Structure 1
Amino acid sequence: MNVLVFDIETVPDVEGARRLNGFEGLSDAQVAAAMHFERRQNSGSDFVRHHLQRIVAISAVLRSGSQLKVWSLGTPASGEAELIQRFFDGVGKYVPTLVSWNGSGFDLPVLHYRALLHGIAAPRYWDTGEDEPAFRYNHYLGRFHWRHTDLMDVLAAYQPRAAAPLDEIATLIGAPGKMGMHGGKVWGAFQAGEIEAIRQYCETDVLNTYLVWLRFELLRGHLGAEGYGAECRLLRDWLRNAEAAHFAEFLARWSSCPQD
């Protein structure tokens, strides 16, 4: 089975806000501030609505056959449309089980709106059995289907009041938790041109999600103790061989990492 664990990082879509609200003549920072102010006035939260979130990074862990890969799609210079196209092309190629943390509540709705904006086709992702009969009762859009597993939703028994932050759950199971920055700092990093730092932060978040996924597979009996240990060792060895400093730091902070 192919498994693709994914996470996105976003910033306010200031161009979209200009188009909708007539913010011509304002700088990007001023438009973003206006967007946050408007949301606070209307909802009490400065969280920008899904359709006005612009994707600047998509990171993934792919587990396929004997392959394990951790990376961010495209390059730091890739535009939003390219990142989204690569994501849905990967879904079409591997037809994986998608795994996320709050993907149903955030990542996927944002991907839907932004794919619509860019005119991106994703037929395999949207199939609910019209083309592939096996998708009829297990497709990516079904909240209670396993083809997309939103770990936050599932572990909370689909009860919003029981939802927990990824950082806390990851830390509790011995994973590193948040590293480098948090979501509230992404806009500032983006304005400073620190795209690579955002991509690295997204990669550590998706690694945390992957470790929660492995523990979940142990919880529901899809992995025994031996299989769970083997999967952790496979990731440990991948991180050891990776050259990037943030992967080495993740490994050093992974307190439940199996030892030789």
Structure 2
Amino acid sequence: MSLSFATPVMVFDIETIPDIEGGTRLYDLKGLEPAAAAKSMFQMRLQKTGREFLPHHLQRICAISVVLATREHIKVWSLGDESSDEAELIQRFYDGLERYSPTLVTWNGGGFDLPVLHYRTLRHGIAAPRYWEMGDEDKAFRYNNYLSRYHWRHVDLMDVLAGFSPRANAPLDEIATLLGFPGKMGMDGSKVWEAWLAGDLAGIRAYCETDVLNTYLVYLRFEAMRGRLGEAALSGELQRLKDWLENAEGEHFQQFLKSWQG
């Protein structure tokens, strides 16, 4: 059986920064500059949990990047532009979901990306009926929806490949590298806040785009592993992505292609 993308595939990833506004409300940080407020939030989190990583509800989305693969085309981009606020990014994400009803693909999306989206969608009062469909309006979603862990409308590759056991989780960078793909290139999630403070949103968006590229490449291998992508079809999809990258604007795309082919 060959994968024909009769159902579009949407690989996505988010990048986040501390929700300074939310932290100020919760912890009375009024008057502090963003860097100082974030430092206070990190310190409180460290004291509480032993690590600085903020909880999902105090993460603010600053970038959402996507690989969209359909029968007709493939495209890699970050939603909105550098002037788009968080609400616009989230709205654009759900607009794509409403339009395509795609198979969502993530790496640790169930553990991070989707819960963050839930809280931020709630915060901004955005409606997302297709995402929350459980079969009440569309019967096809009753036994295959975006929310149930063991369904296929959302494929969290990290969770699936680990056999749904957190003890077996692996980092995307290491799995991609083991498979011969580029892996992380320059930035990682721990550097996003620093890049944001330096005004390098373009760099954050570029980094997020390379993450979804790695995730998509792992997904193709996964589909081949479970028999939904034959050898010829896999080669065809890999070549289609290479062709897109060759013509894409953006130094990071050219670096990704060079690293992949090298």
TM-score interval for Structure 1 and Structure 2 normalised by the shorter chain: over 0.9
2:221 match: secondary structure = helix
Instruction: Give, in angstroms, the shift of residue 25 of structure 1.
Output: 1.4
Question: Which residue does 1:38 correspond to in 2?
Answer: 44
Segments ≥4 residues shifted beyond 3 Å: none
SS in 2 for 1:4: strand
The correspondence for 1:107, drawn from 103, 113, 125, is: 113
Match for residue 207 of structure 1 among 209, 213, 229: 213
Q: Does 1:73 align with 2:76?
A: no
Which letter maps to 1:236? K
Give 2:141's match in structure 1, choosing from 103, 127, 135. Answer: 135
TM-score of the aligned structures, taking structure 2 as reference length: 0.97
Q: Deviation of residue 255 (structure 1)?
A: 4.2
Q: Aligned match of 1:9 in 11, 15, 27?
A: 15
Match of 2:178 in 1: 172
Give the SS at the match of 1:124: coil
Amino acid of the structure 1 residue aligned with 2:236:
A
Deviation string 1:200-220 (CA, Å, 9 cap, x unpaired) is 000000000000000001000
Aligned to 2:99: 93
How many equivalent residue pairs?
256
Report if the CA contact (8 A) 1:174-1:255 is conserved. Answer: no
Residue identity opposite 1:116 in structure 2: L
1:232 is aligned, of 238, 247, 254, to 238
Q: Which moved more, 1:20-29 or 1:211-220?
A: 20-29
Residue 64 of structure 1: aligned partner: 70
Identity %: 62
**Structure 1 residue 71, shift from structure 2 partner:** 0.3
The separation in 2 between residues aligned to 1:240 and 1:64, in whole angstroms, is 19
Q: CA deviation at 1:180?
A: 2.4
Give deviations 1:127-176, integer Å, cap 9, x for gaps.
00011000000000000000000000000000001000000000000110
Aligned-pair distance for 1:198? 0.3
Aligned partners of 1:48 and 1:151: how far apart in 2? 23
Give the letter aligned to residue 111 of structure 2: G
**Which blocks of at least 5 consecutive residues in structure 1 are unaligned?**
none
Check if 1:188 corresponds to 2:157: no
Counterpart for residue 131 of structure 2: 125
Alpha-carbon distance in structure 2 between the residues aligned to 1:123 and 1:96 = 14
Contact 1:152 1:163 in 2 (8 A): yes
Q: CA deviation at 1:27?
A: 1.1
CA distance in 1, matches of 2:182, 2:48: 36
RMSD between aligned alpha carbons?
Answer: 0.8
Q: In structure 2, what is the equivalent of residue 219 of structure 1? A: 225
SS in 2 for 1:69: strand
Per-residue deviation, residues 12-50 of structure 1 (Å, max 9, x unmatched): 001110011100111111111111111111111111000
